[in-house]
Amino acid sequence: MTIELAGVDWLESLANAVDWGTKQVLQVDWTGVEGRLGCRLPSDYKRLVERFGKGTFDDGYIDLHAPEDLAAWASFHEQTGALPWASNDQELLLCWVTDAADPDTWPVCDGGQ
């Protein structure tokens, strides 16, 4: 869920904090990705991926999963109701709890790995 401060874009704040000077926008076939997953994805995640792509923040502190990699978690998602979107080098999984129709309202939890 997006929480915006008056006039402050969280994505631009993050880009500035990590000194990400580029304004790249990756083209992602979200319709195809969501079709393979069988569910829509949060708009915040889409913006994050389009701006930064797959990769690591702070040498493994957060590894952002690429959209095409999310399908590999289908079995985990079916069993737990949690869909991993990031991980780190301490084996922490950041997951959405996909129990609501609107993905922009999904809370984030630890996947308990």
CA 105 to chain centre: 13
pLDDT under 70: residue ranges of the chain? 1-25, 55-60, 112-113
Instruction: In whole angstroms, give the CA distance from residue 67 to residue 44.
Output: 13
Domain locations along the chain: 10-110
Instruction: In whole angstroms, give the CA distance from residue 111 to residue 79.
Output: 12
Q: What is the pLDDT of residue 98?
A: 93
Q: What is the pLDDT of residue 1?
A: 43
Closest CA to 62 of 34, 92, 83: 92
Q: What is the pLDDT of residue 22?
A: 66
Topology at the third CATH level for domain 10-110: SMI1/KNR4-like (3.40.1580)
Reported pTM: 0.76
Torsion, Cα 97 99 104 107, to 10 degrees, reads -30
Q: Tens of pLDDT along 70-92?
A: 989 888 888 999 999 988 878 88
